[in-house]
Amino acid sequence: MKRFLIEREIPGASTLTMTDLCEIARTSNAAVDSLGVPYTWVTSYVAGDKIYCVHEAEDAETILEHARRGGFPANLVVEVTNEFGPHTAEYVAA
């Protein structure tokens, strides 16, 4: 599966309570279950008026279908083409 980064613009996102986030998670899980195809919600981050999600699916259309079924915005959906971090500094090219 491919990994995607999803940006969701949600005014007041940073004020969502744990109860709110629990309901959003339940709705997302139900949308995942209804898709009938391989799909993994990896994690989400709340920052300001946005929620950034990392999901895995076969294609961007499946990501958008999950958003439609869950009633979530998906203002930006981009495929993650690589990952790196502090450990990358140790990489030695062959």
11-67 pLDDT tens trace = 999 999 999 999 999 999 999 999 999 999 999 999 999 999 999 999 999 999 999
Q: How many CA atoms lie within 13 A of 32 on its CB side?
A: 14
- Residue of 71, 43, 42, 74 whose CA lies nearest to 60: 74
Residue 8's pLDDT is what?
98
The secondary element (H helix, E strand) that includes residue 39 is: none
- pLDDT tens across 70-89, in order? 999 999 999 999 999 998 88
Per-residue confidence (pLDDT) for residue 36, from 0 to 100: 96
Q: Are 70 and 28 in contact (CB under 8 A)?
A: yes
How far is C-alpha 35 from the chain's CA centre?
15
Query: What length does the chain have?
Result: 94
